Amino acid sequence: MEKDRLCWAALPLAGSTYGFTEVEPFVRRADPAHAASELLVRISHETPEQWLLVVPPGARIWVNGHKPPLGAHALADHDEIRFVDGRRLYFSTERLPEIRPFPGGGKEGCCGRCRNPLEQGVLVVCCPQCATFCHQMEKLPCWRYKDTTSCPVCDQSNDPDAGFRWTPEGI
């Protein structure tokens, strides 16, 4: 009989506050005013994002094998969150590249590959590792430029099927 295998799924955190549940996906958006249990709270929206795990008195939860001192823990990449019932969750700051309209809104910039200006609404990819913007349109496919394998500034893969660099499968 095959050993139990770790099954995991990535859950991007887009909101500001999340609570834990006993059913998959185990993490759901929460209203902090009505929460009485553990919470994940975004404390910074800047890159890199910063998240705080808030643990009420008496809660039986560990981060990397230790109880959070003073009822809180600033999460770091690859932290393990373990509950008394044996559930394990892993926190990662890694994001996959996404094509989105350039937000503009007072942000000026130029493409990391072609160095041409970026205009509000034009399709771009913001590198999830170094935050460099690159065009990604039919006439300017700078992010996935022919014969390139990574962001022009760092080693982040520009392959849309590359997936995550780190997974908890090897643990």
Max CA distance (Å), the chain: 59
Whether 38 and 59 map to the same domain: the answer is yes
Position 10 in a domain:
no
Whether 110 and 139 map to the same domain: the answer is yes
Nearest CA among 77, 79, 97 for reference residue 88: 79
What's the rounded Cα separation, in Å, for the pair 58 and 75?
Answer: 20
Position 69 in a domain:
yes
Structurally, the chain folds into a number of domains equal to: 2
Position 164 in a domain:
no
Whether 72 and 21 map to the same domain: the answer is yes
Position 167 in a domain:
no
Whether 67 and 50 map to the same domain: the answer is yes
What's the rounded Cα separation, in Å, for the pair 19 and 35?
Answer: 8
Cβ-based neighbour number of residue 128 at 10 Å: 18
Whether 112 and 83 map to the same domain: the answer is no
Owning domain of residue 73: 17-91
Position 5 in a domain:
no
What's the rounded Cα separation, in Å, for the pair 147 and 48?
Answer: 29
- Domain end marker among 67, 91, 115: 91
Whether 103 and 138 map to the same domain: the answer is yes
Q: Where are the beta strands (DSSP E) in 118-167?
A: 123-126, 133-135
Per-residue tens of pLDDT for the chain, all 171 residues: 344 445 677 888 888 888 888 877 788 888 766 566 788 888 877 767 789 999 888 888 899 999 998 889 999 989 999 988 888 889 988 888 999 999 877 777 899 999 999 999 999 999 988 989 999 999 999 999 999 999 999 999 999 888 888 888 766
What is the pTM for the complete model shown?
0.73
Residue type, 70: L
